[in-house]
Amino acid sequence: MKDYQNQQLWRSYVRTRTDLYNAITPDLADSSMISETNWVERSGYFSGEEMGIFVKPGDICYMDFGQQYLNEAGYQHFGLVMSICSKKALVIPMTSNPSTCAKAYDPVENPNGKKNLMQIGKVKGLYKNSVLFLNDMRYVNTARVIDVKAHLSPASSLFRAVQQRMMDILFMNDESAM
């Protein structure tokens, strides 16, 4: 009986995955296939250290966040490492999309902006102005890191400002502020 149930479950899974792959738009196909390949190659590692990737707070990494639900950062993005705990990194995903950057809250330049978005400008080692998705911060296995691209010193005023905004977002109860 269990064999039959497993076969039925497997057929259902394959049918669902086939439907999913048929529904993926071409612009998402590349990111999805890269993510799946990264998962196959990296999911068995306890951390990036096993692959020779050593990350520390302040590193800005190109990484694979994997599949996302609506309204989440996913697939391949840059992310700012805020801390390391038990081989996992607390990472804030980021983008250089100009329209997203323009929506970010700033007490002087854009006081009506979205408080879950924080502009960090053009960090040395990156080519464009960037914005952090503060409400997408999460701990991830450092095996998701593909490459360290830049570094923001944890002693810098910008890093400390990010920490403060992180705390503000963690304890924000007013969704209308987002």
For residue range 123-135, what is the model confidence (pLDDT) as tens digits? Answer: 999 999 999 999 9
Dihedral sign (CA 74, 75, 76, 81): positive
When pLDDT is cut at 50, 70 and 90, the band that residue 174 belongs to is low
Q: How far apart are CA 146 and CA 75, in angstroms?
A: 12
User: Residues of the chain with pLDDT > 70: what percent?
Assistant: 95
Domains and CATH numbers, the chain: 44-177 (2.30.30.110)
SS3 148: strand
What's the rounded Cα separation, in Å, for the pair 4 and 45? 33
DSSP 8-state symbol, 72: S
How far CA 144 is from CA of 54, 78, 137, 159, 177, in Å, comes to 12, 11, 14, 22, 31
pTM of the model: 0.85
